[in-house]
């Protein structure tokens, strides 16, 4: 019975999107079949809810038991919540997509990869087996490539990222969809390979690949400090690239070339969230707070903490200079994900447990949940605004805001609930985060807390800027197209309403007790007020002309594109030039042109030179050989 739940959960989205793939040439059918694809995701929603309420613990189905590779699913606290979050968000976005993607030039491609994306993330969420998890992980990679580069013809500026024609030094600051897709997959592969090696190493060293069953302490003790650091770094490479943490963040910015629905899904419940989620999940079972005796592990968690915090601040600052709707949100996502990494990494030093769960991990996870719904709502609103104004840049004044009331209200709710302003949803979670970072003062000093507060303040500012420049103080849009969009409105209204539900849960659930307590602490209240102030400033003064140069620097992502688009390719070309010019010449000479062919040619000619055509010569040779052999046998035989 349970196997049917899992089968439907993972396969319903994929199978339901196959008909539209098969009917890709038939316009009439491709207009109707998206409903079937959405229904497939709805089945996943039902299954995830069933799991949430009914199933608990590990479920195992054999695949290659001899190799320890099996279908093992874990229905624990994390996966039961995350499964529902993923499925519900994907479903709401899919409903929105029915409207948003109408009239697109390749709906089959879109819906297949969209559903594959959802199914892959669900696999990542529920898998206990690392190999199975990696299958879902790679599914995410493939689907993200397909979706980011969906508008592969690069024929509409609306899908680009950056300003057309703008250059900084030798570097063009404009990226088309096809390039965005390529950049995403190439960056992710860069991290996936070490991650795969790490899984292989765990497979070789541990009797099981099931995350919940691996004896992490024993494993780390076997491989020593250097081994632990290398293993964890390899895993983190996969997670950091997927979650677009510095310095691997560039792909996420240019991923905004994909359809907005893709951006929404990519940023809330899949892909970038996958990296942070897997980190939380692994840490959940590694229980590093019990492994302080393991050499090397602390350095790994220090690294994860600071990469997270630095990414958080970097993302927020970059966002502060941005004027493109979706890219601004992308930068803010990177910032949020950074905070999730930081909070989860802080669990190493946090011993406080609520209902048997580590406070830091709970904070990280709940922040992920709140962020997912808020950010998805904002992206869906952006998509609607792009449709309505036909511009990917921030624009729209109060007049326009009044005509787009649902979008306006949803943006107000999503931003205020997300930034950590008291008393809205994220405030309680952020308070928990403040408390966690406060705990770290003893071990790591005040820097983590300062970085967190700075990030939160700038973050509040950019969210307010997004609201202000889209609905209150932005320029009047040159083009307004306000008809239709019914399903789009339904999509983001449903999405944002979940934030209220989350607030209720925070106040009702036993394990979120810690957040509530932290919310009343003086530090949290002060941070909350600072965030409120920053939000108001952002709202009133979304653009500060005196800081425009700094803004441009931030908008150019502090010139990080140079690493991706200039330094790395140039190095690559240099190496390939070396290989081509010198390496190949040697290999060619040995195998293709000189040494081996020459040798074989010479021997071949010698062999053929025997054939002169004269019978007498042949007889001499053959009889000679026969006689020689017989003599040898005679001598050898006597000797034997």
Partner 1 sequence: MDVPMMMLGALVILTLCSLLSFKYRDLGFYGAIVAIIIAFLAVSRSEPNLIYYSAFIFAIGIINLFSLKVIKSVIQGVDYGLVALMVLATLYIFTTQDLAMILVAFVLVSVPTYILVMIREGGANVEVGIKYITFMVLATVLFLMGALILSYTKSLPDAGLLYLFGYVMLVVGLCIEVGVAPLHEWVPDVFTSADPIPMSIIASLAKIVPFIAALWILIYTASSLTASITIFTAVLAAISMFTGNIGALTSKEHARVLAYSTVANMGYVLTCLVVVINPEPEFICFALAGGLLMLFANAAGKIGFFNAIKGEGAFSPLMYLLAFSFIGLPPLMGFWGKFFILSSLVKVGLSLFEAGYVYIALAAIVVINSAISVPYYLRLARELGVGWKANLTNFICIAAVIIILITVTFLPVDWFFKGMAVIAQTMGIAI
Q: How far apart are CA 316 and CA 29, in angstroms?
A: 44
CB of residue 376 to partner 1, shortest distance in Å: 51
Stretch that binds partner 1, among 91-99, 235-243, 415-423, 626-634 (CB under 8 A): 626-634
Span from 139-147, 196-204, 554-562, 632-640 in contact with partner 1 (CB under 8 A)? 632-640
- In the complex, the smallest distance separating the C-beta of residue 603 from partner 1, rounded to whole angstroms, is 5
Regarding 626 and contact with partner 1 (CB under 8 A), the answer is: yes
Closer of 168 and 631 to partner 1 (Cβ)? 631
Provide the mask over 402-441, with x wherever binding to partner 1 is found by CB under 8 A and - wherever it is not.
----------------------------------------
Nearer to partner 1, 545 or 612 (CB): 612
**Alpha-carbon distance values, 371 to 271, 419, 429, 606 (Å):** 14, 9, 10, 77
Supply the minimum distance, in Å, between the C-beta of residue 640 and partner 1: 6
Minimum CB separation of residue 590 from partner 1 in Å reads 16
Please name the residue that has the structure tokens 């209204």.
493
Give whole-number Cα distances, 565 to 157, 254, 562, in Å.
20, 12, 5
Shortest Cβ 636–partner 1 spacing (Å): 7
Name which of 478 and 611 has its Cβ closer to partner 1: 611
Of 67, 158, 526, 629, which one interacts with partner 1 (CB under 8 A)? 629
3-state secondary structure of 432: helix
Interface with partner 1 (CB under 8 A), residue total 27
Answer yes or no whether residue 631 interacts with partner 1 by CB under 8 A: no
Rounded to an integer, what distance in angstroms lies between the CA atom of residue 143 and that of residue 110?
9
Q: Is 172 helix (H, G, I), strand (E, B) or coil?
A: strand
Q: What is the DSSP string of 226-275?
A: HHHHHHHHHHHHHHHHHTT-TTS-HHHHHGGGS-HHHHHHHHHTSTHHHH
Should residue 619 be labelled a site residue for partner 1 when binding is judged by CB under 8 A? yes
From the number of C-beta atoms within 10 Å of its C-beta (0-12, 13-18, 19+), residue 298 rates as middle
| Rounded CA separation 469/393 (Å) | 10
Query: What percent helix, strand, coil does the chain show, rounded to 5?
Result: 75, 5, 20
**Residue 595 C-beta: closest distance to partner 1, Å:** 15
Q: By C-beta, is 526 or 595 nearer to partner 1?
A: 595
Map residues 575-614 to x or -, x wherever contact with partner 1 holds by CB under 8 A: -------------------------xx-xxx-xx-xx-x-
> In the bound complex, what is the minimum distance in angstroms from residue 585's beta carbon to partner 1?
22
Stretch that binds partner 1, among 69-77, 93-101, 539-547, 630-638 (CB under 8 A): 630-638
Choose the binding region for partner 1 from 18-26, 156-164, 282-290, 622-630 (rule: CB under 8 A).
Answer: 622-630
Token pair 């053959």 is found at 622
Work out how close the CB of 593 gets to partner 1 at its nearest, in angstroms, rounded to a whole number. Answer: 14
Pair of tokens at residue 303? 């690294």
Buried b or exposed e, range 306-331, using 16+ CB within 10 angstroms: bbbbbbbbbbbbbbbbbbbbbbbbbb
Cis upstream peptide for 247 (omega within 30°)? yes
- Concatenate the DSSP letters of all residues of 438-462 into one string: HHTHHHH-SHHHHHHHHHHHHHHHH
Nearest to 542 by CA among 603, 470, 482, 478: 470
Q: Which is nearer to partner 1, 590 or 621 (CB)?
A: 621
Binding-site ranges for partner 1 (CB under 8 A):
600-601, 603-605, 607-608, 610-611, 613, 615, 617-619, 621-623, 625-626, 629-630, 633-634, 636-638, 640
């Amino acid at each position: 019975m349970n196997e049917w739940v899992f089968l439907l959960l993972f396969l319903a989205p994929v199978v339901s999107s196959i008909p539209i793939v098969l009917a890709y040439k038939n316009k009439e059918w491709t207009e109707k079949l998206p409903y079937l694809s959405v229904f497939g995701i709805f089945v996943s929603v039902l299954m995830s809810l069933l799991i949430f309420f009914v199933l608990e613990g590990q479920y195992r189905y054999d695949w290659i038991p001899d190799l320890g590779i099996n279908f093992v699913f874990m229905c624990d606290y994390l996966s039961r919540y995350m499964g529902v979050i993923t499925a519900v968000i994907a479903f709401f976005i899919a409903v929105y997509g029915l409207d948003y993607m109408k009239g697109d030039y390749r709906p089959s491609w879109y819906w297949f990869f969209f559903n594959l994306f959802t199914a892959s993330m669900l696999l990542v969420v529920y898998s206990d087996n690392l190999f199975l998890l990696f299958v879902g992980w790679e599914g995410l990679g493939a689907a993200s490539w397909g979706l980011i580069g969906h508008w592969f013809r690069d024929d509409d500026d609306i899908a680009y990222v950056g300003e057309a024609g703008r250059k900084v030094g030798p570097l063009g600051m404009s990226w088309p969809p096809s390039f965005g897709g390529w950049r995403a997959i190439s960056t992710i592969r860069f991290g996936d390979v070490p991650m795969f090696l790490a899984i292989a190493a765990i497979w070789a060293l541990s009797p099981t690949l099931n995350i919940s069953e691996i004896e992490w302490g024993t494993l780390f003790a076997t491989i020593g400090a250097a081994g632990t650091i290398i293993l964890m770094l390899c895993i983190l490479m996969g997670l950091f690239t997927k979650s677009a943490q510095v310095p691997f963040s560039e792909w996420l910015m240019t991923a905004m070339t994909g359809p907005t629905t893709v951006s929404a899904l990519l940023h809330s419940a899949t892909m970038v969230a996958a990296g942070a989620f897997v980190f939380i999940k692994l840490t959940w079972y590694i229980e590093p707070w019990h492994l302080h005796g393991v050499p090397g592990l602390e350095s790994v968690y220090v690294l994860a903490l600071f990469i997270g915090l630095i990414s958080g601040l970097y993302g927020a600052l970059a966002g502060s200079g941005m004027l493109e709707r979706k890219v601004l949100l992308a930068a803010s996502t990177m910032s949020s994900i950074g905070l999730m990494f930081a909070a989860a990494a802080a669990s190493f030093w946090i011993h406080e447990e609520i209902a048997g769960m580590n406070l830091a991990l709970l904070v990280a996870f709940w922040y992920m949940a709140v962020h997912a719904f808020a950010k998805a709502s904002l992206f869906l609103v952006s998509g609607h605004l792009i449709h309505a104004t036909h511009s990917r840049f921030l624009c729209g004044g109060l007049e326009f805001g009044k005509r787009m009331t649902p979008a306006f209200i949803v943006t107000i709710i999503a931003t205020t609930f997300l930034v950590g302003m008291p008393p809205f949803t994220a405030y309680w979670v952020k308070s928990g985060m403040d408390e966690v970072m406060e705990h770290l003062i003893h071990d790591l000093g005040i820097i983590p807390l300062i970085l967190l507060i700075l990030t939160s303040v700038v973050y509040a500012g950019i969210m307010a800027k997004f609201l202000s420049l889209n609905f209150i103080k932005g320029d009047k849009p040159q083009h307004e197209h306000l008809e239709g969009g019914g399903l789009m409105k339904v999509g983001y209204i449903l999405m944002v309403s979940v934030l209220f539900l989350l607030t209720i849960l925070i106040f009702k659930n036993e394990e979120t007790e810690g957040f509530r307590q932290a919310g009343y602490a003086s530090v949290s209240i002060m941070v909350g007020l600072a965030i409120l102030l920053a939000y108001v400033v952002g709202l009133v003064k979304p653009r500060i002309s005196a800081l425009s140069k700094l803004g441009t620097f931030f908008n150019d992502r502090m010139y990080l594109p140079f690493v991706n688009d200039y330094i790395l390719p140039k190095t690559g070309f240099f190496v390939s030039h070396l290989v081509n010019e010198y390496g190949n010449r040697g290999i060619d000479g040995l195998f293709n042109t000189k040494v081996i062919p020459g040798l074989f040619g010479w021997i071949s000619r010698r062999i053929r030179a025997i054939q002169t055509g004269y019978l007498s010569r042949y007889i001499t040779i053959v009889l000679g050989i026969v006689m020689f052999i017989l003599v040898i046998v005679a001598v050898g035989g006597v000797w034997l």
